Amino acid sequence: MNITSNTTARIGFIGLGIMGQSMAGHLLAAGHSLALYNRSREKAQVLVDKGAQWCDTPAQVAAQSDIVITMVGYPSDVEQVWLGSEGIIANARNALLIDMTTSSPALAVRLAAEAEKGGHQALDAPVSGGDVGAREARLSIMVGGDPAAYQTALPVLRLLGTNVVHVGAAGAGQHTKMSNQIVIASTIMGVCEGLAYARAAGLDETVLLQAIGGGAAGSFQLNVMGPRIVKGDFAPGFFIEHFLKDLGIALAEAERMKLALPGASLAQRLYTELSERGLSRQGTQALFQHYLAGA
Ligand code: NAP
Protein backbone atom coordinates (compact mmCIF):
# COMPACT_ATOMS: atom_id res chain seq x y z
CA MET A 1 0.00 0.00 0.00
CA ASN A 2 1.46 3.35 -1.00
CA ILE A 3 -0.55 6.42 -0.07
CA THR A 4 0.66 9.83 -1.12
CA SER A 5 -0.91 13.21 -0.49
CA ASN A 6 -2.45 12.95 -3.98
CA THR A 7 -4.03 9.50 -3.70
CA THR A 8 -7.15 8.44 -1.89
CA ALA A 9 -7.44 5.42 0.36
CA ARG A 10 -10.29 3.31 1.64
CA ILE A 11 -10.21 4.19 5.33
CA GLY A 12 -12.34 2.71 8.09
CA PHE A 13 -12.87 4.64 11.33
CA ILE A 14 -14.31 3.18 14.54
CA GLY A 15 -15.13 5.39 17.54
CA LEU A 16 -16.75 8.76 16.83
CA GLY A 17 -16.65 10.54 20.18
CA ILE A 18 -15.13 13.90 21.11
CA MET A 19 -11.87 13.04 19.34
CA GLY A 20 -12.86 10.52 16.64
CA GLN A 21 -15.66 12.66 15.22
CA SER A 22 -13.27 15.50 14.32
CA MET A 23 -10.45 13.19 13.21
CA ALA A 24 -12.66 11.17 10.86
CA GLY A 25 -14.02 14.45 9.48
CA HIS A 26 -10.52 15.55 8.42
CA LEU A 27 -9.97 12.27 6.54
CA LEU A 28 -13.26 12.68 4.70
CA ALA A 29 -12.52 16.34 3.92
CA ALA A 30 -9.18 15.25 2.40
CA GLY A 31 -11.08 13.12 -0.13
CA HIS A 32 -10.57 9.63 1.32
CA SER A 33 -13.48 7.20 1.22
CA LEU A 34 -14.62 6.57 4.78
CA ALA A 35 -16.44 3.59 6.30
CA LEU A 36 -17.69 4.24 9.84
CA TYR A 37 -18.82 2.41 12.94
CA ASN A 38 -19.59 3.68 16.44
CA ARG A 39 -21.37 2.05 19.38
CA SER A 40 -24.10 4.70 19.21
CA ARG A 41 -25.10 5.17 15.63
CA GLU A 42 -26.35 8.76 15.94
CA LYS A 43 -22.81 10.09 16.37
CA ALA A 44 -22.04 9.00 12.78
CA GLN A 45 -24.87 11.00 11.22
CA VAL A 46 -23.01 14.27 10.57
CA LEU A 47 -20.27 12.40 8.68
CA VAL A 48 -22.74 10.16 6.83
CA ASP A 49 -24.52 13.34 5.66
CA LYS A 50 -21.15 14.46 4.24
CA GLY A 51 -20.65 11.22 2.29
CA ALA A 52 -19.19 8.66 4.71
CA GLN A 53 -20.64 5.16 4.70
CA TRP A 54 -22.21 3.69 7.85
CA CYS A 55 -21.40 0.03 8.65
CA ASP A 56 -23.35 -2.08 11.13
CA THR A 57 -20.30 -3.80 12.65
CA PRO A 58 -16.52 -3.35 13.01
CA ALA A 59 -16.21 -6.45 10.81
CA GLN A 60 -17.97 -4.68 7.94
CA VAL A 61 -15.69 -1.67 8.31
CA ALA A 62 -12.63 -3.92 8.21
CA ALA A 63 -13.80 -5.94 5.20
CA GLN A 64 -13.88 -2.86 2.97
CA SER A 65 -10.90 -0.82 4.22
CA ASP A 66 -7.17 -0.70 3.46
CA ILE A 67 -6.55 1.25 6.66
CA VAL A 68 -8.65 0.91 9.81
CA ILE A 69 -8.32 3.48 12.59
CA THR A 70 -9.82 2.93 16.05
CA MET A 71 -10.43 5.73 18.57
CA VAL A 72 -12.59 4.15 21.26
CA GLY A 73 -12.58 4.65 25.04
CA TYR A 74 -10.87 1.92 27.09
CA PRO A 75 -8.49 -0.99 26.50
CA SER A 76 -11.51 -3.31 26.90
CA ASP A 77 -13.20 -1.47 23.98
CA VAL A 78 -10.05 -1.86 21.89
CA GLU A 79 -9.97 -5.61 22.60
CA GLN A 80 -13.63 -5.92 21.66
CA VAL A 81 -13.17 -4.09 18.35
CA TRP A 82 -9.85 -5.70 17.35
CA LEU A 83 -10.09 -9.30 18.56
CA GLY A 84 -12.53 -12.19 18.18
CA SER A 85 -14.42 -13.51 15.18
CA GLU A 86 -16.27 -10.19 14.68
CA GLY A 87 -13.17 -8.05 15.24
CA ILE A 88 -11.17 -6.10 12.70
CA ILE A 89 -8.17 -8.47 12.68
CA ALA A 90 -10.33 -11.42 11.66
CA ASN A 91 -12.19 -9.50 8.97
CA ALA A 92 -9.65 -7.16 7.34
CA ARG A 93 -7.67 -8.13 4.23
CA ASN A 94 -3.94 -7.31 4.32
CA ALA A 95 -4.74 -4.04 6.01
CA LEU A 96 -2.95 -1.44 8.10
CA LEU A 97 -4.65 -1.29 11.51
CA ILE A 98 -4.00 1.77 13.71
CA ASP A 99 -5.19 2.13 17.29
CA MET A 100 -5.25 5.79 18.37
CA THR A 101 -7.09 5.13 21.65
CA THR A 102 -5.06 5.77 24.82
CA SER A 103 -4.62 2.16 25.90
CA SER A 104 -2.16 -0.18 27.55
CA PRO A 105 1.33 -0.77 26.12
CA ALA A 106 1.01 -4.52 26.75
CA LEU A 107 -2.21 -4.68 24.76
CA ALA A 108 -0.56 -2.79 21.89
CA VAL A 109 2.22 -5.39 21.75
CA ARG A 110 -0.34 -8.20 21.75
CA LEU A 111 -2.43 -6.57 19.01
CA ALA A 112 0.64 -6.09 16.80
CA ALA A 113 1.46 -9.80 17.14
CA GLU A 114 -2.14 -10.89 16.47
CA ALA A 115 -2.39 -8.54 13.48
CA GLU A 116 0.81 -9.96 12.00
CA LYS A 117 -0.57 -13.50 12.33
CA GLY A 118 -3.64 -12.32 10.41
CA GLY A 119 -1.49 -10.88 7.60
CA HIS A 120 -1.87 -7.24 8.63
CA GLN A 121 0.35 -4.44 9.90
CA ALA A 122 -0.51 -2.68 13.15
CA LEU A 123 0.51 0.56 14.83
CA ASP A 124 -0.27 2.05 18.24
CA ALA A 125 -0.66 5.79 17.66
CA PRO A 126 -2.19 7.61 20.64
CA VAL A 127 -2.56 11.36 20.49
CA SER A 128 -2.22 14.49 22.59
CA GLY A 129 -3.66 17.94 22.03
CA GLY A 130 -7.18 17.61 23.36
CA ASP A 131 -10.53 18.33 21.75
CA VAL A 132 -9.06 21.56 20.31
CA GLY A 133 -6.14 19.70 18.72
CA ALA A 134 -8.51 17.16 17.16
CA ARG A 135 -10.82 19.87 15.80
CA GLU A 136 -7.95 21.88 14.33
CA ALA A 137 -5.95 18.83 13.09
CA ARG A 138 -3.06 19.92 15.29
CA LEU A 139 -2.58 16.76 17.34
CA SER A 140 0.71 15.33 18.49
CA ILE A 141 0.75 11.69 17.44
CA MET A 142 3.18 9.22 19.01
CA VAL A 143 3.54 6.10 16.91
CA GLY A 144 4.82 2.67 17.91
CA GLY A 145 5.35 -0.19 15.47
CA ASP A 146 7.14 -1.31 12.36
CA PRO A 147 8.96 1.57 10.55
CA ALA A 148 7.59 0.53 7.14
CA ALA A 149 4.02 0.55 8.46
CA TYR A 150 4.72 3.98 9.97
CA GLN A 151 5.84 5.29 6.56
CA THR A 152 2.62 3.96 5.00
CA ALA A 153 0.51 5.62 7.69
CA LEU A 154 2.32 8.95 7.68
CA PRO A 155 0.36 10.77 4.93
CA VAL A 156 -2.90 9.84 6.69
CA LEU A 157 -1.66 10.73 10.18
CA ARG A 158 -0.44 14.09 8.89
CA LEU A 159 -4.06 14.96 8.11
CA LEU A 160 -4.78 14.70 11.84
CA GLY A 161 -1.71 16.14 13.48
CA THR A 162 1.15 18.57 13.05
CA ASN A 163 3.63 16.62 15.18
CA VAL A 164 3.79 12.97 14.11
CA VAL A 165 6.72 11.06 15.62
CA HIS A 166 7.76 7.41 15.29
CA VAL A 167 8.83 6.60 18.85
CA GLY A 168 9.82 2.93 18.60
CA ALA A 169 8.48 -0.61 18.35
CA ALA A 170 4.93 -1.79 19.11
CA GLY A 171 3.85 -0.48 22.52
CA ALA A 172 6.26 2.48 22.48
CA GLY A 173 3.47 4.81 21.34
CA GLN A 174 1.38 3.91 24.39
CA HIS A 175 4.38 4.18 26.74
CA THR A 176 5.06 7.65 25.29
CA LYS A 177 1.44 8.62 25.88
CA MET A 178 1.72 7.44 29.50
CA SER A 179 4.72 9.73 29.94
CA ASN A 180 2.59 12.53 28.47
CA GLN A 181 -0.23 11.83 30.94
CA ILE A 182 2.21 11.77 33.87
CA VAL A 183 3.39 15.27 32.86
CA ILE A 184 -0.22 16.47 32.56
CA ALA A 185 -1.17 15.03 35.97
CA SER A 186 1.16 17.31 37.88
CA THR A 187 0.66 20.24 35.49
CA ILE A 188 -3.13 20.39 35.89
CA MET A 189 -2.74 20.18 39.68
CA GLY A 190 -0.31 23.13 39.50
CA VAL A 191 -2.69 25.16 37.32
CA CYS A 192 -5.60 24.57 39.71
CA GLU A 193 -3.47 25.46 42.73
CA GLY A 194 -2.19 28.67 41.10
CA LEU A 195 -5.73 29.72 40.19
CA ALA A 196 -7.07 28.82 43.65
CA TYR A 197 -4.33 31.00 45.16
CA ALA A 198 -5.14 33.88 42.77
CA ARG A 199 -8.83 33.68 43.67
CA ALA A 200 -8.09 33.66 47.40
CA ALA A 201 -5.81 36.68 46.90
CA GLY A 202 -8.61 38.54 45.09
CA LEU A 203 -6.72 38.85 41.78
CA ASP A 204 -8.45 39.33 38.41
CA GLU A 205 -8.04 35.79 37.07
CA THR A 206 -8.27 36.76 33.38
CA VAL A 207 -5.51 39.32 33.85
CA LEU A 208 -3.53 36.74 35.81
CA LEU A 209 -3.70 34.31 32.86
CA GLN A 210 -2.49 37.07 30.53
CA ALA A 211 0.38 37.84 32.87
CA ILE A 212 1.66 34.32 33.50
CA GLY A 213 0.48 32.43 30.38
CA GLY A 214 3.41 33.74 28.33
CA GLY A 215 6.02 33.11 31.02
CA ALA A 216 7.72 30.02 32.35
CA ALA A 217 4.42 28.65 33.72
CA GLY A 218 2.80 28.70 30.27
CA SER A 219 1.48 25.35 29.03
CA PHE A 220 -1.51 23.80 27.26
CA GLN A 221 -3.05 23.15 30.66
CA LEU A 222 -2.65 26.77 31.77
CA ASN A 223 -3.42 28.43 28.45
CA VAL A 224 -6.33 26.23 27.28
CA MET A 225 -7.75 24.81 30.52
CA GLY A 226 -7.03 27.95 32.59
CA PRO A 227 -9.62 30.15 30.78
CA ARG A 228 -12.21 27.33 31.01
CA ILE A 229 -11.61 27.13 34.79
CA VAL A 230 -11.93 30.90 35.18
CA LYS A 231 -15.28 30.80 33.31
CA GLY A 232 -16.48 27.89 35.47
CA ASP A 233 -16.70 25.77 32.29
CA PHE A 234 -16.14 22.17 33.36
CA ALA A 235 -17.63 20.56 30.23
CA PRO A 236 -15.53 17.67 28.96
CA GLY A 237 -12.81 18.17 26.41
CA PHE A 238 -11.20 15.21 28.15
CA PHE A 239 -13.32 13.13 30.55
CA ILE A 240 -12.10 12.64 34.13
CA GLU A 241 -13.00 8.95 33.77
CA HIS A 242 -10.59 8.64 30.83
CA PHE A 243 -7.83 10.39 32.75
CA LEU A 244 -8.34 7.96 35.64
CA LYS A 245 -8.05 5.11 33.12
CA ASP A 246 -4.72 6.58 31.92
CA LEU A 247 -3.37 7.16 35.43
CA GLY A 248 -4.29 3.58 36.32
CA ILE A 249 -2.32 2.24 33.34
CA ALA A 250 0.65 4.56 33.97
CA LEU A 251 0.87 3.76 37.69
CA ALA A 252 0.59 0.01 37.06
CA GLU A 253 3.43 0.23 34.51
CA ALA A 254 5.49 2.34 36.94
CA GLU A 255 4.92 -0.18 39.73
CA ARG A 256 6.04 -2.97 37.42
CA MET A 257 9.21 -0.94 36.72
CA LYS A 258 9.64 -0.26 40.50
CA LEU A 259 9.27 3.48 39.94
CA ALA A 260 7.49 5.79 42.41
CA LEU A 261 5.45 8.62 40.86
CA PRO A 262 4.17 10.78 43.74
CA GLY A 263 2.64 13.45 41.48
CA ALA A 264 0.65 10.98 39.39
CA SER A 265 -0.37 9.08 42.54
CA LEU A 266 -1.73 12.26 44.14
CA ALA A 267 -3.59 13.16 40.93
CA GLN A 268 -5.13 9.68 40.92
CA ARG A 269 -6.33 10.17 44.51
CA LEU A 270 -7.82 13.63 43.85
CA TYR A 271 -9.56 12.56 40.62
CA THR A 272 -10.89 9.42 42.32
CA GLU A 273 -12.46 11.66 44.98
CA LEU A 274 -14.08 13.83 42.28
CA SER A 275 -15.32 10.72 40.54
CA GLU A 276 -16.88 9.49 43.79
CA ARG A 277 -18.68 12.87 43.97
CA GLY A 278 -20.27 12.03 40.58
CA LEU A 279 -18.00 14.21 38.40
CA SER A 280 -16.40 11.50 36.25
CA ARG A 281 -18.03 12.79 33.03
CA GLN A 282 -16.77 16.34 33.57
CA GLY A 283 -13.56 17.58 31.97
CA THR A 284 -10.19 17.23 33.71
CA GLN A 285 -10.17 20.98 34.48
CA ALA A 286 -12.99 20.22 36.97
CA LEU A 287 -10.15 19.33 39.35
CA PHE A 288 -10.50 22.99 40.34
CA GLN A 289 -13.66 21.99 42.21
CA HIS A 290 -11.47 20.08 44.66
CA TYR A 291 -9.89 23.42 45.64
CA LEU A 292 -13.25 25.23 45.70
CA ALA A 293 -14.46 22.61 48.16
CA GLY A 294 -11.55 23.70 50.37
CA ALA A 295 -10.52 20.08 50.79
P1 NAP B 1 -15.44 9.53 23.80
O2 NAP B 1 -16.08 10.83 23.46
O3 NAP B 1 -16.02 8.69 24.89
O4 NAP B 1 -15.33 8.67 22.45
C5 NAP B 1 -15.17 7.29 22.38
C6 NAP B 1 -16.09 6.79 21.29
O7 NAP B 1 -15.83 5.40 21.06
C8 NAP B 1 -17.58 6.91 21.69
O9 NAP B 1 -18.28 7.51 20.63
C10 NAP B 1 -17.99 5.47 21.92
O11 NAP B 1 -19.33 5.18 21.58
C12 NAP B 1 -17.06 4.72 20.99
N13 NAP B 1 -16.86 3.35 21.44
C14 NAP B 1 -16.46 2.92 22.66
N15 NAP B 1 -16.40 1.58 22.68
C16 NAP B 1 -16.78 1.17 21.46
C17 NAP B 1 -16.91 -0.11 20.88
N18 NAP B 1 -16.64 -1.23 21.57
N19 NAP B 1 -17.34 -0.17 19.61
C20 NAP B 1 -17.62 0.96 18.92
N21 NAP B 1 -17.49 2.19 19.40
C22 NAP B 1 -17.08 2.28 20.67
O23 NAP B 1 -13.91 9.76 24.18
P24 NAP B 1 -12.82 10.72 23.50
O25 NAP B 1 -12.64 11.92 24.36
O26 NAP B 1 -13.12 10.89 22.04
O27 NAP B 1 -11.51 9.84 23.71
C28 NAP B 1 -11.25 8.69 22.93
C29 NAP B 1 -9.89 8.11 23.35
O30 NAP B 1 -8.88 9.09 23.13
C31 NAP B 1 -9.81 7.74 24.83
O32 NAP B 1 -9.00 6.61 24.99
C33 NAP B 1 -9.17 8.96 25.46
O34 NAP B 1 -8.47 8.63 26.66
C35 NAP B 1 -8.22 9.40 24.35
N36 NAP B 1 -7.89 10.82 24.30
C37 NAP B 1 -8.82 11.79 24.53
C38 NAP B 1 -8.45 13.13 24.46
C39 NAP B 1 -9.44 14.25 24.74
O40 NAP B 1 -8.99 15.38 24.97
N41 NAP B 1 -10.74 14.01 24.67
C42 NAP B 1 -7.15 13.48 24.11
C43 NAP B 1 -6.23 12.48 23.84
C44 NAP B 1 -6.61 11.15 23.93
P45 NAP B 1 -20.60 5.85 22.32
O46 NAP B 1 -20.91 7.01 21.45
O47 NAP B 1 -21.63 4.81 22.33
O48 NAP B 1 -20.13 6.24 23.71
Task: Note whether 179 and 151 are same-domain residues.
Answer: no
pLDDT in the model for residue 262? 98
Distance between Cα 211 and ligand 1 center (Å): 35
pLDDT at 3 over 90: no
**Of 80, 65, 70, residue with least CA distance to 24:** 70
Task: Note whether 34 and 165 are same-domain residues.
Answer: yes
The answer to the question of residue 4 being in a domain is no
Angle between helices 105-117 and 172-200 (to 10 degrees): 150
The secondary structure of residue 239, as a DSSP letter, is B
Please tell me if the CB atom of residue 80 comes closer than 6 angstroms to any atom of ligand 1. Answer: yes
Q: 141-174 burial by CB neighbour count: b if 16+ within 10 A, else e?
A: bbbbbbeebbebbebbbebbbeebebbeebbbbb
The answer to the question of residue 5 being in a domain is no
The answer to the question of residue 2 being in a domain is no
pLDDT at 278 over 70: yes
Distance between Cα 77 and ligand 1 center (Å): 9
Task: Note whether 17 and 160 are same-domain residues.
Answer: yes
Range of the domain at 253: 175-292
Average confidence (pLDDT) over 145-160? 98
Looking at the CA of residue 242, tell me the nearest atom of ligand 1.
34
Ligand 1: which of 38, 132, 180, 284 to mutate, judged by most atoms within 8 Å of the beta carbon? 38
Confidence of residue 108 (pLDDT cuts 50, 70, 90): very high
Q: Which residues contact 35 (CB under 8 A, 6 or more apart)?
A: 10, 11, 12, 13, 52, 53, 55, 60, 61, 64, 65
Report the number of distinct structural domains present in the chain.
2
Which of these three, 136, 169, 202, is where a domain ends? 169
The answer to the question of residue 65 being in a domain is yes
pLDDT per position as a tens digit, 211-258: 999 999 999 999 999 999 999 999 999 999 999 999 999 999 999 999
Domain at 199, CATH number: 1.10.1040.10
Task: Note whether 158 and 206 are same-domain residues.
Answer: no
pLDDT per position as a tens digit, 19-48: 999 999 999 999 999 999 999 999 999 999
